[in-house]
Amino acid sequence: MLIHAVITSRNPRLDRFSVNLGSAERVFLISAWGQGVNLTNGSTSDLAELAEAAAAWHAGVTLAELQIAAPFLEVGPLALAHERGPEYAVAETWSRYLTVDLYEDLEMLHAAHVEPRLRALFPFTSHGALLFSRCTGFPFSRDVSAIYPLGDHRYAVRHRGEPFSREPDYTAQEAAAAVVAYMPKVWGPAVAGTRHDLRDREGP
């Protein structure tokens, strides 16, 4: 019995349209990706609806057109930003992080955002640390230094390939500047795709 299917697209910016059959009931669960980004999700029990959505994806339509063809699929603002281009995805993600959130360190985020070279990278967080990717798709690049909150408005910076150390500790502004100072001059704004695409583009 077939419980999983993948549909490809004629649009090179779109990847897999994955369909899984629900285990408890007859429902089709959809997750669709492009350039390392989850662009849409949804579910339907109607096989005709599923076929129309799959056909639209295969044809390489825009996300707006996909929603018209398959209203049960959800497309959020971040997915639309990714479709417009990497600079829009970066700006949308920074905007989300800079919104007041009790679980993120806004002082650290604002200090990094002030730095033009960091503001052009794709930000993401992990266990309280602020990381930066040179590509907008997952898996992200992990070659940019990361900022770690230490408490009491102090921060550590961990450079790739070096062990984590609490010394020296920095202010938020100093930490952001330390990350920029360690970046090679040739590193520009984040590009679309995954770290594998980035590696292929830049070579060994």
Q: Which residue has the tokens 């700006």?
A: 91
Instruction: State the pLDDT confidence band at 3, using cuts at 50, 70 and 90.
Output: confident
- Say if CB 166 and CB 156 are below 8 A apart: yes
Query: Percentage of the chain surpassing pLDDT 90?
Result: 89
User: Which of 41, 75, 109 marks a domain boundary?
Assistant: 75
From the list 101, 104, 132, 139, the residue with the least C-alpha distance to 118 is 132
113 and 194 inside one domain: yes
Residue ranges making up the domain that contains 91:
85-202
68 and 160, same structural domain?
no
Number of independent structural domains in the chain? 2
Report d(CA 91, CA 64) in Å as an integer: 20
Rounded to an integer, what distance in angstroms lies between the CA atom of residue 2 and that of residue 109? 46
One domain, residues 9 and 58: yes
Model pTM score: 0.92
Q: Hey, what are 103's tokens?
A: 């679980």
pLDDT, position 6: 95
Flag whether 130 is in a domain: yes
Q: Provide the pLDDT for residue 31.
A: 97
pLDDT value at 24 more than 90 = no
Residue given tokens 């990717």 in the structure block:
133
Residues 105 and 191 in one domain: yes
Domain membership flag for residue 80: no
Question: For the segment 140-154, what is each residue's pLDDT rounded down to a tens digit?
Answer: 999 999 999 999 999
Q: What does the pLDDT read at residue 57?
A: 97
**Do 68 and 125 belong together in one domain?**
no
Task: Give the pLDDT of residue 23.
Answer: 75
The answer on pLDDT for 2 being more than 80 is no
The pLDDT of residue 1 is 57
Amino acid 185: pLDDT: 95
Same domain? For 93 and 65 the reply is no
Same-domain pairing of 99 and 198: yes
User: Domain check: are 107 and 64 in the same one?
Assistant: no
Instruction: Judge whether 92 lies within some domain.
Output: yes
DSSP 52-96: HHHHHHHHT--HHHHHHH-TTEE--HHHHHHHH-HHHHHHHHHHH
* Same structural domain, 95 and 156: yes
**pLDDT computed for residue 101 by the predictor:** 79
Residue 199 pLDDT > 80, yes or no?
yes
Residue 22, in any domain of the structure: yes
94/180 same-domain check: yes
Please check whether residues 70 and 90 belong to one and the same domain. Answer: no
pLDDT for 156: 97
Lowest mean per-residue pLDDT among 19-33, 58-72, 78-92, 183-197: 19-33
Same-domain status, 108 and 177: yes
DSSP calls for 25-52: SS-EEEEEEETTEEEEEEEES-HHHHHH
Q: How confident is the model at residue 7 (pLDDT cuts 50, 70, 90)?
A: very high
Average pLDDT, the chain: 95
Assess whether pLDDT exceeds 90 at residue 180: yes
Residues 88-111: pLDDT tens digits?
999 999 999 999 777 789 999 999
